[in-house]
Structures are given as structure tokens and as C-alpha cells.
Amino acid sequence: MKVSVVPALIAAGLLLAVAQGAHASESLARSKNCLSCHTVDKKVVGPSYKDIALKYKGKGVEATLARKIREGGSGTFGSIPMPASPQVSEAEAQQLARWILSL
């Protein structure tokens, strides 16, 4: 039986692209000081990104989350407000929201 390596190579390429996208998004979060209050897997000042993803799973809230990243918010995860992040562009906020929701 002959097995084609093309599907495996395509899958490997997709995995690499996803990993590179995740790394770029985490680097963006670092450069915008998001990691001062958040981490991927544990609560710091704000909730972990995985807790955010779990709370919003399947709710189609990418635009809402991107807006909260830029404008701030409070009450969703407790009484500590998240300050606005005007240094984050709309495109960057969307990228961060997609990454967070993918966790």
C-alpha cells in the first residue's frame, strides 16, 4: 500500500501556521502590556485567557471581546475593572480576541 505524504505535509504546515499565529498573538499581548494583568493559564490581576475563553466558548463574541480590550470593562469577572487600552488598534484587538477565544 502506497501512502501519500502530501496530506501529512499539509497538516504539518497548518499546525506550524497555527503555532506561529499563536506565538505572534502572545508577542502582541506582551508588547501591549496585556501580560501585566493576564496570563494564559492562571489568574493574576485579571482572569486567565483560558478562563476568558471558557466563559465565552461558542458565544460568537469576538467583536465584543475586541471592544472590551480597547475600551475596558468591569463586572464580568469580578469587581476589578479592566482599564481601556487605546494603544491597541482595532485590528490588534481583533487578533488578540481571536487568539484568546482559541485557547
- Percent of the chain's residues with pLDDT above 70: 80
pTM of the model: 0.79
Structural contact between residues 84 and 71, judged by C-beta atoms closer than 8 angstroms: yes
Using alpha carbons only, how large is the chain's radius of gyration in Å? 16
Stretch 36-64: mean pLDDT: 95
Task: Say which residues have a Cβ less than 8 Å from residue 54's Cβ, sequence separation at least 6.
Answer: none
The pLDDT value recorded for residue 10 is: 56
Is pLDDT larger for residue 81 or for residue 11? 81
Stretch 77-100: mean pLDDT: 95
What does the pLDDT look like over 2-32, one tens digit per residue? 556 556 545 554 444 455 557 889 999 999 9
Of the candidate CATH numbers 1.10.760.10, 1.10.1060.10, 1.10.3470.10, 1.10.3720.10, the domain formed by 6-102 belongs to 1.10.760.10
* Residue spans per domain, the chain: 6-102
- Find the length of the chain: 103
Place of cell 504539518: 12
